[in-house]
Amino acid sequence: MNAGSALFVLYGDHLRERGGPAPVAALVRLPAALDVAAPAVRLAVSRMAGQGRLVHV
């Protein structure tokens, strides 16, 4: 699973239901359970933010 897919699944299926923002640190840690490296997750977060899929609050 690539980092972008992992973030999309984790955020869309789990974190979004909780309401409120999720810290980037949490978004970086969670995909580690799926063997996704932290640098790849940080890059995916940056790209998703650039696409408007994630916003800074």
Residue 41 lies in a domain: yes
The predicted structure's pLDDT at residue 15:
67
Contact yes or no for 4/34 (Cβ under 8 A): no
Q: What pLDDT was estimated at residue 4?
A: 80
- pLDDT of 56 > 80? The answer is no
Region of residue 37 (phi > 0: left; psi between -120 and 50: alpha; otherwise: beta) = beta
Per the domain annotation, does 57 fall within a domain? no
Whether 56 maps to a domain, the answer reads: no
Question: Taken in order 36, 38, 44, 48, is the CA torsion positive or negative?
Answer: positive
Q: How many domains does the chain have?
A: 1
Q: Each residue of 1-50: pLDDT tens digit?
A: 788 887 777 777 766 677 677 788 877 887 887 788 888 888 888 888 89
The reply to whether 19 falls in a domain is yes
The pLDDT value given to residue 26: 78
| Phi, psi at 53, each rounded to 5° | -80, -25
Q: Which residue range forms the structural domain that includes residue 35?
A: 3-50
Reduced 3-state DSSP string for 21-38: CCCHHHHHHHHHHHCCCH
Please indicate, yes or no, if residue 55 is contained in any of the structural domains.
Answer: no
